[in-house]
Structure 1
Amino acid sequence: MKVLGACPLDCPDACSWVVTVEDGVATGLRGNKEHPVTRGALCVKVNRYLEQVGAPDRLRYPMRRTGPKGSGRFERISWDDALDEIANRLTGIIDEFGGEAVWPFHGTGSLGYLQGMEGYPGRRLFNLLGASHHRPTICSVAGSAGVRYTLGTSGGMDPEDLAQSRLILLWGTNPLSSGHHVWKFIQDSGAYLVSIDPVRTKTSERCDEHLAPLPGTDAALALGLLHVIVARGAQDDAFIAEHTEGWPEFRDLIAEYTPERVAAITGLAVEQIVGLGERIARTRPTAIRASQGMQRHAGGGMALRVLACLPGVTGDWAIPGGGLHYSTSGHFRLDLAALVRDDLLPHPVRTLSMTKLGENLLETENPPVKALFVIGANPVGSNPDQRRVIEGLSREDLFTVVLEHFGTDTVDYADIVLPATMQPEHLDVLAGYGHLYLIWNEPAIEPPGECLSTTETFRRLARRLGLTEPALYDSDDELMRQLLTGHDLDRLRADGFLKVQPGPVPAGTLQFVSARAELAGHDPLPAYTPPADPGDGLVLISAASQYFLNTIFGSNPELRRRAGESRITLHPDDAAARGITDGAPVRVANARGSFDSIAEISDRVRPGVAATPKGRWAKFSGGATVNATIAERDADYGGGAVFHDNRVEVYPR
């Protein structure tokens, strides 16, 4: 039997897949050949997904902690015992401290609308309890806000249109290691390819040209390219007059960013800036493909504002194959309000930022967080300032419930662990942020042991709490129909995917000067915001791994073997200045924390920059990972994370 499903992981590709089932056992998994983006291929990580589903160390039963927090010592208990303990603790906490002392912490372990972060599973229940709202700031929020200030929507060009481009700027993105399906459209285009990345990645090596600016200087580079374009009179005056606002002010700002000034900011040669600017000036259509990594710094939102302006100056927004692709999420018009039911809130509640977990858990007032539900997340491995996150999770007065598949670093700090279903075992629907397709996921097999879907877990908890609100007990089919109002659900279920009609981009008039940004306290002009880490040393980039997806697959033995030891790549000049040789053990440190690694000496990184992949678990890495060095500090827009605005020193050990 063949069952259509969808990869739930935090990747723009949101692949459609086909599960082969024999006698109730999933025996095969492949990409759906019929899906126009998946085209039958999965990635090196997801190819092993069925190994994850059947892994011997998968969590299959509820557990209660028996040792100190962090020890990872648990005993098996029944669902009745687990739900009784959770209900009793929640009731006591809410009676004493109020509902806002409860924090449902959703991560990106699943991007499903029923079982994952996109639909905030359990939010109906938490709303009725008056719990704090969770703000998912760890991934793309700064860039999405920046794009909206310019375009009026966070939806950009259809990535399939890249096949029509003649020049493609791959800006801070490495699709051959992360989200590789877009590469097919890039190859189909025959376009001249430019990689803009501080690291010479696998993707950079396949491009015609590579520019390696200093991390966090992307907005300055974009303004410098615009300076070259405008100086040559290559702006599209007709498009600007008909479709934009604020051009005179923006033009004056562009004039300030001469190639010489931008070279000093970015560390690039003047000739590189002028050469690329002239190429953009004479090439239509030009497309920019950017991804989330480049906006994880102090000026990340501003950088995406400027990138969204560039096709407005050249007129590429009006040409098929031109524009900016950052995320397609803004094109999916689903009834999220009907799914999450914020109308169930008894009163307004506070919002807690995902990337300030350590700070929020260590706050003792207003009220303190006393109950934490971790859903599809591994914050010990994924959040900034690992030391403070662990300190917060170690509080004996914090009641922590974790819904999980494996014994992650975060599970070790739980009071109660609840085993969750995996993607072939439950119903869900996804919307890719790297294409325009809704993807249906039909359950293919029964879950092992006593694993429950996230939706069913919260239905059972609501019943144990004695709550009578009917909306808390809607079935998954009912939830799906409420979410997909206006969409052909039956066709989606039969075919496995359905392309949505994108909205206009820009949505209205493109804003070179944004009144909305000014109203929010930001510069109305899209300018350059420099990096903010005050430390000395090297700028550390912690980009996506070839073998892990965030911290998912961090326990998979084969993928861990392929990934090898933790390595940090240093430029030969930086290594020599520190007396570090290739293969030497090193300690990477700043005032926030440190982690151990192995030095790899290579000119793949530019001088002044170090690089190490993210995704490792602390328990397999000497107790700390790269996130031990990263600050709980907000980017310019939306409270986004600053993983790449991080200075460290590297020492031999």
Structure 2
Amino acid sequence: MTITQVRAACPHDCPDTCALLITVEDGVATEVKGDPDHPTTAGVLCTKVARYAERTYHADRLLHPMRRVGNKGEGKFERITWEQAIDEIATRLGGIVARAPQAILPYSYCGTMGQVQGESMSARFFHKLGASLLDRTICAMAGFIGYKYTIGATIGTDIEQFQDAKLIIIWGGNPIASNLHFWMRAQEAKRRGAKLIAIDPYRSLTAEKCHQHIALLPGTDSALALGLMHVLIAEDLVDQDYIDQYTLGFAELKLRVAEWTPERTADTCGISTNEVLGLARAYGQAARRGEPVAIRTNYGVQRVRGGGMAVRNIACLPALVGAWRHAAGGIQLSTSGSFPLNKPAMQRPDLLTTPARTINMTTIGDDLLRESSPEFGPRIEAVIVYNANPLAIAPDSDKVMRGFLRDDLFTVVLEHFQTDSADYADILLPATTQLEHIDVHHAYGHLYMMANNAAIAPLGEAKPNTEVFRLLAARMGFDDPCFQESDDQLAAQAFDKTHARAVHFDWESLKRKGWQKLAMPDAPFANGNFPTPSGKCEFYSASMLADGLDPLPCYIAPYESRASNPVLAAKYPLAMISPPARNFLNSTFVNVISLRGTEGEPRLDMHPDDCTPRGIADGDMVRIYNDRGAFVCKARITPKARAGLVVGLSVWWKKLASDGKNANQVTSQALTDMGRAPTFYDTLVQVEKAA
């Protein structure tokens, strides 16, 4: 028996980007474990990725190319050869290109976060075609834009410093489920005497284990940040020296937040005045004592109308109290801006020789149903889906389904399994998993460049994304040398090694070691040097003003709430959010039997005060609905959901739910204040006992 150990990296949409060690026995992966030497992974994996071999060898893996033989959505296919599949796809796309290349749309996101299997050869292919561009906004763009206006780039506190903080505010996230290795650091800080405070409308697993939980109303985070700034300034809990040296617009900010009294803030957020005062004082007084205070904010904050402004407002707080002076202070939203990615080399936008329109992936439901027009351009005639499952994850799901049901829409899906989206494919292609291909990764929760080596040969006839697009490029006569580059050649171009942070990047050595840390200071903004136009933390942003936005922090109310839309709330009185289920990652892992068995079945968490008047008992099947649609699941009565809020942990495959639907039946295609991102948590519904 031959036993080897292969270095790899977790590919999934998670901040942790764990370093993996794959044990291979006679060509079979027998164990996936965390690398104990990698400083952030520390040998620990989440329950999902620890079962990665189970997913790779799942009995339902797609192993051969297939062509649809039934109606769209039925999921009926016949096996074909790769030659037949590539020939049919190229022929169909070629016919569209001859008429209107922008009628072709790629649809992809973070099914893998890899720079090679994500957007490299595929981007080159679609640029060469002249296809429509995809605005990949569906997760984090609102917050990224708000953060960049304030800080300059998505650079923040290093995860390896958090254990030394004395106060940690976990704002809009549930790291036990979605950022385990940060939670390990937060727990170590707690053991060392730090106070942990969770801000979340829902009493999540994380909130339960913090010293304090502040359950504000969905979409009011920006108001809470304004109220905190009011108290910090009014009670002189700011670091005036840091403000004077390293910030811009403090005088204007002071005037703006003067109107956000603790009383107004509490009323807007649905919490007590004492909670506003107590949080501000805990944060400001700890900083005044010279203690590191840190904020870990996550993506739950930004999935509402004012999501970009919410993150901007929160990002002002560390500069106000001088928290950036400490390595363990500051804020982390994402570390992705620390990595000098070489996207032009990977994606080759120069291959796109004529201007192309951009389609927002969040509004795919509306866009697939649009006719040709001078404003929109040509009707979408072909969609190639890879690294994504739009039928499950895109909002306003009924419209998404109707769009993909179009008989005149040619749909190709690259997948591991027959997902909800795969059921609508005309051609279904088997993709490799992370254990079967090469990739290189950056992270958005730590500062390590990561290598993924192929541990096993592809199962069946599965192919890497890169190879599929190489074959299509060759079949369509694209003879540019870039379409012949190997995955190793692509990976070697992923980072700009002339940049000071990645100057030591070498793909071959990274493959051998598995990971390498960027050259970053421990406290990135201790002495200012923010990557903003002014070089300072910008409380006042001229860039925002130029972009038609309020240049100062402000409050943007949700589209759908009792306060902002009382007419709609009279009809649909309950706010709904749909945060990640612990055992799933977006719609990935839902079909892994051991994980689905742990998660149970789709359910809706409801406060007792909302159940009693509706005659709903624990375990009843309930119907959740609004003007966009409806879905059915089991009610769980719990005080974890504050009164007036229902929580549907997500994202379930529709085909695995009792009614063939999920929470995105009721979510909206409305976009955020900045970044054109989704508003999943800006949703009003009514709930009734199901028939």
Q: TM-score, normalised by structure 1?
A: 0.98
Aligned residue for 2:103?
101
Give the aligned length: 650
- Whether the aligned pair in 1 keeps the contact of 2:121 and 2:483 (CA below 8 Å) is no
- Report the counterpart of residue 501 of structure 2 in structure 1: none
Partners of 1:339 and 1:381 in 2: CA distance = 29
Q: Distance in 1 between matches of 2:257 and 2:432?
A: 52
Q: Shift of residue 318 of structure 1?
A: 2.0
Q: Is the 8 A contact 1:13 1:435 kept in 2?
A: yes
Query: Could you tell me which residue of structure 1 aligns to residue 545 of structure 2?
Result: 518
Tell me what 1:260 maps to. Answer: 263
Q: For residue 363 of structure 1, what is the amino acid of its counterpart?
A: R
* 1:567-596 Cα deviation digits (max 9, x unpaired): 111111111122211111100000000110
The CA distance in 2 between the partners of 1:238 and 1:491, in whole Å, is 44
SS in structure 2 of the partner of residue 144 of structure 1: helix
Q: Find the counterpart in structure 2 of residue 560 from structure 1.
A: 596
Instruction: Judge conservation of contact 1:106–1:120 (CA < 8 Å) in 2.
Output: no
- Residue 389 (structure 2) pairs with residue 378 (structure 1): yes
Shift of 1:226: 1.4
TM-score, length-normalised on structure 2?
Answer: 0.93
Residue of structure 2 equivalent to 1:399? 410
**Match in the other structure for 1:161:** 161
RMSD: 1.1
Q: Which residue pairs with 2:187 in the alignment?
A: 187
Match in the other structure for 1:139: 139
Shift in Å at residue 120 of structure 1? Answer: 4.9
Q: Distance in 1 between matches of 2:610 and 2:74?
A: 38
Query: Counterpart of 1:228 in 2: which secondary structure?
Result: helix
Conservation of the 8 A alpha-carbon contact between 1:331 and 1:501: no
Match of 1:115 in 2: 117
The DSSP-based 3-state class of the residue aligned with 1:483 is coil
Choose from 397, 418, 433 the match for 1:422. 433
Structure 1 pair 253–408 and aligned structure 2 pair: CA distance change class (3 A): same
Matched, 1:19 2:25: no
Cα distance per residue 1:419-471 (max 9 Å; x no partner): 00000100001111011111100001001111000001111111111121111
Query: Which digits, 9 at most, give the CA deviation of each residue in 1:601-621, with x for residues without a partner?
Result: 111111111111112111111
Check if 1:630 corresponds to 2:667: yes
The whole-number CA distance in structure 2 between the counterparts of 1:402 and 1:176 is 32
Aligned partner letter, 2:439: D
Cα distance, 1:488 vs. partner? Answer: 2.7
Q: 1:502: Cα distance to partner?
A: 3.4
Describe how 1:96-495 pairs up with structure 2 within 5 A.
96=99, 98-116=100-118, 119-189=119-189, 190=192, 191-284=194-287, 285-365=292-372, 366-486=377-497, 487-495=505-513
Structure 1: unaligned runs, 5 residues or longer: none
State the distance in 2 between where 1:431 and 1:9 align.
11
Among candidates 633, 642, 654, match of residue 618 of structure 1: 654
Once the 2 structures are TM-superposed, how far is the Cα of residue 6 of structure 1 from its aligned partner? 0.6
Distance (Å, rounded) in 1 between the aligned partners of 2:635 and 2:435: 40
- In the TM superposition, 1:539-618 aligns within 5 A as 539-618=575-654
Distance, in Å, in 2 between the alignment partners of 1:396 and 1:202 is: 44
User: Is contact 2:8-2:20 (8 Å) kept?
Assistant: yes
Change over 3 Å in CA distance of 1:120–1:252 after alignment to 2: farther
Shift in Å at residue 170 of structure 1? 0.4
The answer as to whether partners of 1:45 and 1:547 remain within 8 angstroms in 2 is yes
Residue 67 of structure 2 is matched in structure 1 by 64
CA distance in 1, matches of 2:631, 2:111: 24
Q: Deviations over 1:209-240 (max 9, x none)?
A: 11000011001111111111111111111111
| Identical-pair percentage | 44
Question: Cα deviation per residue 1:38-93 (whole Å; 9 max; x = unaligned)?
Answer: 11011111111111100111000000000110010000000000011001100111
SS at match of 2:516: strand
Separation in structure 2 between the aligned mates of residue 438 and residue 645 of structure 1, nearest angstrom? 35
Where 1:283 maps in the other structure, the secondary structure is: helix
* Unaligned runs of at least 5 residues, structure 2: 498-504
- 2-side partners of 1:650 and 1:418: how far apart? 39
Deviation of residue 108 (structure 1)? 1.3
Q: 1:75 to 1:17 in 2, by over 3 A?
A: same
Q: How many Å separate the matches in 1 of 2:536 and 2:301?
A: 26
1:14 touches 1:432 (CA, 8 Å); kept in 2? yes
Q: CA deviation at 1:399?
A: 0.5
1:502 aligns with 2:520: yes
CA distance in 1, matches of 2:197, 2:344: 41
| CA distance in 2 between partners of 1:81 and 1:400 (Å) | 16
**1:484 CA drift (Å):** 2.9
How far apart are the structure 1 equivalents of 2:554 and 2:317? Answer: 12
**Matched residue, 2:502:** none
Distance (whole Å) between structure 2 residues aligned to residue 402 and residue 293 of structure 1? 29
What whole-Å deviation, never above 9, does each CA across 1:310-360 have from its counterpart, x for those lacking one?
111101122221111000000000211111000111111111111011111
